[in-house]
Structure 1
Amino acid sequence: MKQGVMFFSLLLLVGMASPALAIGNFTEGFSGLIIWVFLAYCGIIVVAQLFSALYAIGNLLNDLAGGKPKTRKMSLR
């Protein structure tokens, strides 16, 4: 009995999801691909800026934790 209920529940779930699966992906046109390429390009820019910001914050924290910068004496001729 329990297996029958599980089977019909799964069948009902798949039956309700079938209209959502009927949406066409590539038949809409070429514009969807262009939008995805543009979003990927924007994502690459965001990730690059994130790495740059994390590098700058790391340098700032190192400077704050280190106190005075170490200097060396130089002789000019």
Structure 2
Amino acid sequence: MPKIVTVVDEKSIERYGGKHMLIAPPLDYNSLMSEIPEGKVITITQIRQYLADKYDADFTCPLTVGIFISLAL
């Protein structure tokens, strides 16, 4: 981990805007969320974009982000 997968499905490429999908480690989500000060709000979209930028991917896997964030709460 992290793993960058090349997506070949045209619908997914069009929907998410690229071919390189990041599957980020669960600890990255946990550490990022722990850095957010109490009372501040960060969206899943912002988390996904931050991690995609960090690992030079086009987007992050929407399924795993939902699973990992729900476990981190």
| Alignment TM-score, normalising by the size of structure 1 | 0.20
Larger radius of gyration: 1
| Bigger fraction of residues in strand | 2
Higher RCO structure, 1 or 2 (CA under 8 Å, sep 6+) = 2
| Alignment TM-score, normalising by the size of structure 2 | 0.20
